[in-house]
């Protein structure tokens, strides 16, 4: 168990990863290569129906500075510069997108044994300011996540969350969308040797009085192969199998079936991630 409460994004992350990570219904591939000087070049592509989206990302590291440059099929160039540990527990991130001149943003993260803070501000005349903070320990953490638009002088986002971690159990409760959505999630590691875990998430929207319940599980067939499955109260069932056929290289196949409309064709997704 790590020290400190982490960042706000860590609240409920265990359950989210179990229930939603790696599930997809598209064809996706990612290939990473390294130059003799250590520069990492990652090419990825996703086929969604008749649409194909691709990008190329180059990562350069120099001491504690990491620079990521990504070019996509729409000729957008995204640059992210990360400075790790300029001071103990501190991380600084600067990003901008070309040709969008208003996309520049600076983010600062700070991790402490009893707090985790992340704040960002857009580099414009009337920026959007984001702030998230968590206080507590690695057992109990309480946090908030807000965004303020200085142009209109209003809060555009206000979320709050509570996270509880004890041995093999993680439970969280969050209020999102300015109080319109109440979300509760649960994660339990049943057997760490086989990476067996179960999880659940329930969301209630006050504006529509709608409830969404998702249940999921995962289990490692062997040290290199993992199976996951989930189902929600709307009858959508998903399953995937992921195999690490070489270190940090994965082949994933996933599928989705609407149990309330079996006559419809099932959705199947393929994922391939290659690293040398």
pLDDT at 129: 97
- The predicted structure's pLDDT at residue 232: 97
User: What are the E-state strand segments in the chain?
Assistant: 27-34, 40-48, 51-62, 65-72, 77-84, 90-98, 105-112, 115-122, 128-136, 140-149, 154-166, 169-176, 181-191, 196-205, 210-222, 225-232, 236-246, 249-258, 267-274
Q: How confident is the model at residue 78, as a pLDDT?
A: 94
Which residue ranges of the chain lie beneath pLDDT 50?
A: none
Name the β-bridge partners of 154.
149
| pLDDT value for 261 | 83
Backbone torsions φ then ψ of 9, nearest 5 degrees:
-65, -15
Specify the pairing of strand 128-136 against strand 115-122. Answer: antiparallel
CA distance 132 to 7: 8
Q: Show me where the domains of the chain are located.
A: 8-274
How does DSSP classify residue 73?
T
CA distance 11 to 201: 13
Q: Does domain 8-274 have CATH number 3.40.50.720?
A: no
Whether omega for the bond prior to residue 265 falls within 30 degrees of 0, making it cis, is no
Per-residue pLDDT at 110: 97
The per-residue pLDDT for range 245-268, each reduced to its tens digit, is 888 789 999 999 998 887 777 788
pTM of the full structure:
0.89
- CB burial string 53-87: b at 16+ within 10 A, e below: eebebebeeeeeebebebbeeeeeebbbbbeeeee
Q: Are strands 154-166 and 169-176 parallel, antiparallel or unpaired?
A: antiparallel
| 58 contacts 75 by C-beta, under 8 angstroms | no
């Amino acid at each position: 168990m790590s020290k400190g409460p982490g960042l706000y994004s860590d609240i409920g992350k265990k359950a989210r990863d179990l229930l939603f990570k790696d599930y997809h219904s598209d064809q996706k591939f990612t290939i990473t290569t390294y130059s003799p000087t250590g520069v990492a070049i990652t090419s990825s592509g996703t086929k969604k129906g008749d649409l194909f989206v691709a990008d190329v990302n180059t990562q350069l590291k120099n001491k504690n500075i990491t620079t990521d440059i990504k070019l996509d099929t729409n000729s957008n160039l995204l640059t992210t510069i990360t400075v790790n540990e300029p001071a103990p527990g501190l991380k600084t991130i600067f990003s901008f997108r070309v040709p969008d001149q208003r996309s520049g943003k600076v983010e600062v993260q700070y991790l402490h044994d009893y707090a985790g803070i992340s704040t960002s501000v857009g580099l414009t005349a009337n920026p959007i300011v984001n702030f998230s903070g968590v206080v507590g320990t690695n057992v109990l953490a309480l946090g908030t996540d807000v965004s303020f638009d200085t142009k209109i002088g209003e809060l555009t986002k206000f979320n709050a969350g509570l996270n509880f971690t004890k041995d093999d159990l993680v439970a969280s409760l969050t209020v999102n969308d300015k109080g319109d959505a109440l979300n509760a999630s649960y994660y339990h590691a049943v057997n760490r040797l086989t990476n067996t875990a179960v999880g659940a998430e329930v969301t209630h929207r006050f504006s529509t009085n709608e409830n969404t319940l998702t249940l999921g599980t995962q289990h490692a067939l062997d040290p290199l192969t993992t199976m996951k499955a989930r189902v929600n109260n709307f009858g959508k069932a998903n399953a995937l199998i992921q195999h690490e056929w070489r270190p940090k290289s994965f082949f994933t196949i996933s599928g989705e079936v609407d149990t309330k409309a079996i006559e419809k064709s099932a959705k199947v997704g393929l994922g391939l991630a290659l690293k040398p």
